[in-house]
C-alpha cells in the first residue's frame, strides 16, 4: 500500500474501545495523529488511551452515546476546546447481532437501527458540519458485507442498518464534497475479530472460512491501513465510495 502522506491531525474514532476500533485507533495514533477514543464504555476507552498516551497529550477517551445527536454535539465541543476541530472522523461504532428474521421484534429491530444508522448520520451531520466550516475533513464510515449481500451469519436488522450506512455515506459525500470534506465507506467481510468468533459458533467457523474464496478470515490491521489511506490528505479525489474488503465473497 502507498505510503501515507497525511500530516498529523485530530482524529475521532467511535466504538474505539474494542474490536476493529482498537486497530484503527492504534494505526492513526502511530502515524502521529492525536486521537479521541469515543465510546459508551468510557473505562475501557480510557485504558487504551492511557496505554497510548500516559499523559493524555496525544490520546484521550471521551464518552459518546452514538444513538443520540446531542452526545455528538457535546463531544465535539469538548474535543474542539482541547485540540481544535477534528480533521478525521471514523464512524466505527456498531452492534452486531444475529436474529431469526421472521420473529425479529420491533424493539430489537429499532434498537439496532438506532445505534448503527443514527451513529453514522449524526456523526456525519454534527462533526461533518464543523469540518466543512474549517474547509477540510475526512470521514470514513464502517459499513459491512452484510449491507451488500443481505447478510449471512448476522440478523436482518444488522444487514438493513449496514445497507443504510452505504446510502448515508453517499448523501453526505454529495453534501460536503465542495467544502473540502470527503465521506467514504469500508465494507468488510468476515475478519479475525472477537465479534466474528462470538457470532459464528466454533463448529461452523471452518465451513464459513471454506466458503470465502481466499480461504481465510480478513486481517483487521489491513482495515486500519485502509482507513488511514482514506484519511490521507491526498485522498481528496475519493468520496462517496465503498471499499470492499471481503475475500471475494462479493464482487461487482
DSSP string over 163-176:
HHHHHHHHHHHHHH
**Given the C-alpha cell 462533526, which residue does it identify?**
127
Check pLDDT > 80 for residue 154. no
Lowest-confidence segment of 44-53, 99-108, 185-194, 198-207 by average pLDDT: 198-207
Burial class (CB in 10 A: 0-12, 13-18, 19+), 204: exposed
- Helix (H) / strand (E) element for 70: namely helix 69-83
pLDDT of residue 4: 47
To the question of pTM greater than 0.85 for the whole model, the response is yes
* C-alpha to C-alpha distance for 18 and 62, rounded to whole angstroms: 14
- 44-79 pLDDT, tens per residue? 999 999 999 999 999 999 999 999 999 999 999 999
The predicted pLDDT at position 201 comes to: 76
Q: Domains in the chain, please, with CATH?
A: 10-244 (3.40.50.720)
Task: List the catalytic residues.
Answer: 158
pLDDT value for 71: 98
**108 — phi, psi (to 5°)?**
-70, -40
**Integer Cα distance of 14 and 11 in angstroms:** 10
If one compares 228 and 193, the residue with the highest pLDDT of the two is 228
Amino acid at each position: 500500500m502507498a505510503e501515507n502522506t497525511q500530516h498529523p491531525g485530530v482524529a475521532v474514532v467511535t466504538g474505539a474501545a474494542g474490536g476493529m476500533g482498537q486497530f484503527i485507533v492504534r494505526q492513526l495514533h502511530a502515524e502521529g495523529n492525536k486521537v479521541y477514543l469515543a465510546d459508551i464504555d468510557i473505562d475501557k476507552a480510557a485504558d487504551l488511551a492511557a496505554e497510548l498516551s500516559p499523559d493524555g497529550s496525544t490520546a484521550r477517551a471521551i464518552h459518546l452515546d452514538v444513538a443520540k445527536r446531542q452526545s455528538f454535539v457535546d463531544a465535539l465541543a469538548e474535543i474542539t476546546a482541547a485540540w481544535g476541530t477534528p480533521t478525521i472522523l471514523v464512524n466505527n461504532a456498531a452492534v452486531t447481532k444475529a436474529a431469526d428474521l421472521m420473529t425479529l421484534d420491533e424493539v430489537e429491530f429499532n434498537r439496532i437501527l438506532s445505534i448503527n444508522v443514527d451513529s453514522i448520520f449524526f456523526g456525519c451531520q454534527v462533526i461533518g458540519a464543523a469540518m466543512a466550516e474549517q474547509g477540510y475533513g475526512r470521514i470514513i464510515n464502517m459499513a459491512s458485507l452484510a449491507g451488500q449481500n443481505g447478510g449471512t451469519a448476522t440478523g436482518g436488522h444488522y444487514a438493513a442498518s449496514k445497507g443504510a450506512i452505504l446510502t448515508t455515506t453517499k448523501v453526505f459525500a454529495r453534501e460536503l464534497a465542495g467544502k473540502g470534506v470527503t465521506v467514504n465507506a469500508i465494507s468488510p467481510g468476515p475478519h479475525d475479530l472477537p465479534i466474528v468468533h462470538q457470532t459464528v459458533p466454533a463448529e461452523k467457523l471452518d465451513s464459513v472460512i471454506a466458503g470465502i474464496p481466499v480461504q481465510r478470515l480478513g486481517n483487521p490491521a489491513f482495515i486500519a491501513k485502509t482507513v488511514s489511506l482514506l484519511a490521507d490528505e491526498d485522498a481528496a479525489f475519493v468520496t462517496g465510495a465503498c471499499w470492499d474488503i471481503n475475500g471475494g465473497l462479493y464482487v461487482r
